[in-house]
A and B are shown apart, each in its own frame.
Chain A
Amino acid sequence: MKQAKAAPQMEVTGYRRPFPGTQPGYLFPTYAATVKRAPTQPLVILPHTLSELTGPVFGHDEVLPGDHDLTRQHKGAPIGERIIVSGRVLDQNARPVPHTLVEIWQANSAGRYPHKVDQHDAPMDPNFTGAGRCLTDAEGRYRFVTIRPGEYPWGNHYNAWRPAHIHFSLFGPAFATRLVTQMYFPGDPLLAYDPMYNCVPDERARQRLISTLDWESTMPQIALGYRFDIILRGAEETPMQTKR
């Protein structure tokens, strides 16, 4: 048997710091709730130690096969436009992030969450909870079946309405790669007015939060596909010192 040439052993020494303008700060007064919740003291820059370079590992026994399909969690089908939301989770070095946990949650098609805090007078859907999860496959791919969430009003400012969105939570390989974000839909006229979407100055960074219509994942006669690729922080790597 031929021996594959061993790739040089790489040691992760830390994770890349964000490009300027691509990650939000804490105080952002146009999003009013940040005012009493943002730290006022400067942050202390944390060197990435073993504690930050490692993170929780989740297994296939924890995520059930149907957990990715939000349209089949109840007796009947939820009201709304069925969609497929899929994509790849990569790191900044363009490598897939395999077997990582992806958690999502969203409003129903009327823009209502089944949550005691949500008092918006829009109908609940007994056939829709709006929570899903999956693990990425070996190539970093994930896929959810759901319905398109509705827009809804919130109290931030006069006539504040959130653009349609799906919340995403990802772990990646390390404590330092933890990411919570939101996915938006192309052409949504509310994006221009949304303080969360507009929390970073880099326009291209904002636009990467918008999914794209995707014929490849569209199921004919069944569900439109939207693609949303997620980039987690990439490691800074140096060749491992090997002792002989």
Chain B
Amino acid sequence: MSLQATTSQTVGPYLHIGLSWLITENLAPKGVPGERMLIRGRVLDGDGRPVNDALVEIWQANAAGKYAHPRDPQAKPLAEGFRGFGRSATNQDGAFRFRTIKPGPVPGPGGKLQAPHIAVNVFMRGQLKQLVSRIYFPGEAANAKDPVLALVAADRRPTLVAKAVKPGMLEWNVILQGKGETVFFDC
């Protein structure tokens, strides 16, 4: 027997009223081990205009590649004070930002390691359900063998890989339509 899942509906334009209390743009307070970085980006619509009412949520493993979740069976250490969840609301420029640490690799299909990545949900008015994407890291040799990136047409893969802006700062944008359209997943 299987029940049917509740139908998704848009967050609408007033999402901040209910969701701002949990804004978490700094995932890794002092003392959390790992390579620290700022990931910033913008959400742009089909006319290239900033989306100023989007909510970006991220979910990631710690630097050891361990999720702070009871279902992660790996014998790897948890990092105290690190949940791995971030939530940022875009501003007038469509910009969001997260201060976090680079996650370690986690297992993928068949036990093969995936390249380090961050899972992303994007919510906004004009979307009846969230968009799902991933942030990968530049200059990462493991990207070439990542089982999920391998599912994506080679010419579109770069949309999933953040760009290095300067040391400790990455840029990853959400392009909803057109040239450079971000790869979104059917999760």
Chain A residues proximal to chain B, CB less than 8 Å: 12, 16, 18-19, 22-26, 28, 31, 33-41, 43-57, 62, 90-94, 103-105, 107, 113-115, 117-118, 129-133, 167, 169, 173-176, 178-182, 196, 199-200, 204-206, 208-209, 230-234
Pairs across A and B, CB under 8 Å, 23 listed = A19-B5, A22-B7, A23-B8, A24-B129, A37-B124, A37-B127, A39-B184, A41-B181, A44-B184, A45-B185, A50-B67, A50-B107, A55-B59, A56-B85, A57-B69, A90-B3, A91-B3, A92-B2, A113-B14, A132-B18, A169-B19, A180-B9, A182-B9
- Contact in complex: A92, B5 (CB < 8 Å): yes
The verdict on A179 contacting B15 (CB below 8 Å), with A28-B128, A33-B126, A44-B185 known, is: no
Q: Which B residues touch A179, using CB under 8 A?
A: 5-6, 8
Residue of B3, B21, B59 near A131 (CB, 8 A) is B21
Residue of B12, B59, B68, B119 near A167 (CB, 8 A) is B12
Q: Which A residues touch B10, using CB under 8 A?
A: 31, 180, 182, 196
> Could you give, for residues 95-122 of chain B, a 1 whenever the CB lies within 8 Å of some chain A CB and a 0 otherwise?
0000000000011110000100101010
B72 contacts A by Cβ under 8 Å: yes
The verdict on A130 contacting B17 (CB below 8 Å), with A47-B109, A232-B5 known, is: yes
Residue of A34, A105, A174 near B128 (CB, 8 A) is A34
Residue of B53, B71, B126, B129 near A117 (CB, 8 A) is B53
B151 contacts A by Cβ under 8 Å: yes
- Contact in complex: B11, A180 (CB < 8 Å): yes
Tell me the smallest distance from the CB of B54 to a CB of chain A, in Å: 9
Tell me the smallest distance from the CB of B164 to a CB of chain A, in Å: 23
| Beta-carbon nearest neighbor of A117 in chain B | B13
Q: Which A residues touch B156, using CB under 8 A?
A: 41
Q: Which A residues touch B40, using CB under 8 A?
A: none
B1 contacts A by Cβ under 8 Å: yes
Tally of chain B residues near chain A (CB < 8 A): 72
Tell me the smallest distance from the CB of B67 to a CB of chain A, in Å: 4
Docked complex Cα distance between A53 and B13 (Å): 29
Residue of B14, B69, B72 near A118 (CB, 8 A) is B14
The verdict on A105 contacting B5 (CB below 8 Å), with A178-B121, A199-B128 known, is: no
| Beta-carbon nearest neighbor of A24 in chain B | B128
Docked complex Cα distance between A23 and B184 (Å): 17
**Which of B11, B182, B184, B187 lies at the interface centre, i.e. has the most chain A CB atoms within 10 A of its CB?**
B187
| Beta-carbon nearest neighbor of A89 in chain B | B6
Q: Which A residues touch B129, using CB under 8 A?
A: 23-24, 26, 180
Residue of A39, A53, A54, A55 near B131 (CB, 8 A) is A39
| Beta-carbon nearest neighbor of A132 in chain B | B18
B38 contacts A by Cβ under 8 Å: no
- Contact in complex: B8, A38 (CB < 8 Å): no
- Contact in complex: B5, A56 (CB < 8 Å): no
B46 contacts A by Cβ under 8 Å: yes
- Contact in complex: B185, A129 (CB < 8 Å): no
- Contact in complex: B5, A39 (CB < 8 Å): no
- Contact in complex: A105, B4 (CB < 8 Å): no
Tell me the smallest distance from the CB of B45 to a CB of chain A, in Å: 5
B176 contacts A by Cβ under 8 Å: yes
Docked complex Cα distance between A41 and B184 (Å): 8
Q: Which B residues touch A26, using CB under 8 A?
A: 127-129, 131
The verdict on A92 contacting B109 (CB below 8 Å), with A24-B8, A131-B18 known, is: no
- Contact in complex: A117, B4 (CB < 8 Å): no
Q: Which B residues touch A31, using CB under 8 A?
A: 10, 126, 128
| Beta-carbon nearest neighbor of A228 in chain B | B6
Excluding A33-B125, A50-B67, A56-B68, 10 further A-B contacts by CB distance (< 8 Å) are A24-B129, A38-B126, A46-B148, A49-B147, A54-B72, A57-B69, A93-B3, A105-B15, A178-B130, A180-B130
